[in-house]
Structure 1
């Protein structure tokens, strides 16, 4: 676990305070290339993701991992503090997907948490290098609550996944080109069938399906960050056929590449 966290990189993208009205977000499904962190100052709402319902109430922090399909509602007025960020380990894996920890964490000291969020927003207004560093520290401080809440089973899974560190790094470096099961097994110093079974047991999907997922997640980042043509983005993540890329993208992300890109303009925290 210590090794995994030593590779953690965080990137703070944006934050604000939003007074949400009734039926906030209208139940529409969203899927973004960044993670979302929520804290409710007052009011109540609900978010659905990972086939679960998470009531949004004061007294807890909530995270929605990157590349996650989610739906939102509020019940009347809700005072929401939010941040968009990325948190990756082992060269590109989403921290929360890797940890498999819960997506809510206790924040019982309401006044202290309000001061933390107020300071986050102050550093954004200041726009100084020192403020940027402080803001990253405040983000990590809040994220630590989720890591602290991981149970023993989740931590055991994390330790088991550390053995695939070189495999993950190999995949991240080769997403623009072909990747075979034999190559991954060689990196892991294991026989291909044994490697595939071991990887599938710990990652809950076969190695090449994981590669396809990472290609789509990389494409999501490119779609969000640039206006490059779809054909160019497809090639950048290892797809020569745009139609096939679109089919795989929809299967993994739940929406088409075009719809995913249009979500950049939707006013949802």
Structure 2
């Protein structure tokens, strides 16, 4: 994509990870902690749900890829790094971006560079349909390239990964079940029964291996799904509350504000106002 001074968006929050490779020009990228100069010859990653500003004063040319992360463990690779990372690009990175475009035609954002336009559920569905039509060879090569890009940001000097630990299969199953069934009335008792364990024992084991209690995990995933739906769909707040498993609209609003610091309507206004700048 070739960008100019119209590329000026504040407080952008997206449900997917984004990786940029800058091949010409310059711009600026900032999150709550740092400000980065977008400069030719570098790669940048913005983890999902990272609040950031995007600006270009004159001209910026970039390759980019955005992707959702699905983990069998139910955890993101970047929870300890909810901020932008930057590394020097290699010759292989450039080849990989060009190859990614070659084997995945028709993926560019041609309608607009405004996230308010392209971050909509209807366009996610279009991209998903393209994914569904990939043959096995293209699918595996695409996944391999994405993993190579991610590996560039996991160097010990820039990436602080949580200590790897064994997570029992019953806990992994519970985490996967939660993410796939957020619309259901999930409870610790029902998850414990699914794992054939005592509720208190299950809760303690879940916390020991994930760092959070089951109810807190359920709430976190519900709010993340709601953030996605507010930014990418036209669902009413009532519908979002129902689809993400909250008992009522008032319960949804209170929980959303407690977790994000903003009410659903304030969150939506922040997104919309940032995109209209």
| TM-score, scaled to structure 2 | 0.66
> CA offset at residue 256 of structure 1?
4.3
Write the distance in 2 (CA, Å) between the matches of 1:20 and 1:251: 38
Residues 32-41 or 201-210, more deviating: 201-210
Write the distance in 2 (CA, Å) between the matches of 1:85 and 1:165: 23
Measured against aligned partners, the alpha-carbon deviations of 1:170-194 in whole angstroms (never above 9, x if no partner) come to 3224422333344455666776666
2:29 aligned residue (46, 50, 54): 46
What residue ranges of structure 2 are gaps of 5+ in the alignment? 108-129
Matched, 1:104 2:88: no
> CA offset at residue 135 of structure 1?
4.0
Note if contact 1:105-1:149 (Cα within 8 Å) is conserved in structure 2: no
SS at match of 1:84: strand
| Change over 3 Å in CA distance of 1:129–1:160 after alignment to 2 | closer
Partner of 2:44: 62
Measured against aligned partners, the alpha-carbon deviations of 1:142-185 in whole angstroms (never above 9, x if no partner) come to 1232346588972624x345663123123224422333344455
Matched, 1:116 2:78: no
| TM-score, scaled to structure 1 | 0.68
1:168-187 equivalences in 2 (<5 Å):
168-184=175-191
| Change over 3 Å in CA distance of 1:73–1:153 after alignment to 2 | closer
SS at match of 2:8: helix
1:1-269 equivalences in 2 (<5 Å):
17-21=1-5, 24-26=7-9, 28-42=10-24, 43-49=26-32, 51-74=33-56, 77-90=59-72, 93-97=75-79, 104=85, 106-109=87-90, 111-122=91-102, 123-125=104-106, 129=134, 133=139, 134-147=141-154, 149=156, 154=161, 156-157=163-164, 159-161=165-167, 164-184=171-191, 196=203, 199-200=206-207, 203-258=210-265, 263=271
| Larger relative helix fraction | 1
Residues 77-86 or 160-169, more deviating: 160-169
What residue ranges of structure 1 are gaps of 5+ in the alignment? 1-16
SS at match of 2:163: helix
Note if contact 1:91-1:172 (Cα within 8 Å) is conserved in structure 2: no
Partner of 1:12: none
SS at match of 1:106: strand
SS at match of 1:146: coil
| Paired residues, number | 246
Residues 166-175 or 199-208, more deviating: 199-208
Write the distance in 2 (CA, Å) between the matches of 1:105 and 1:249: 31
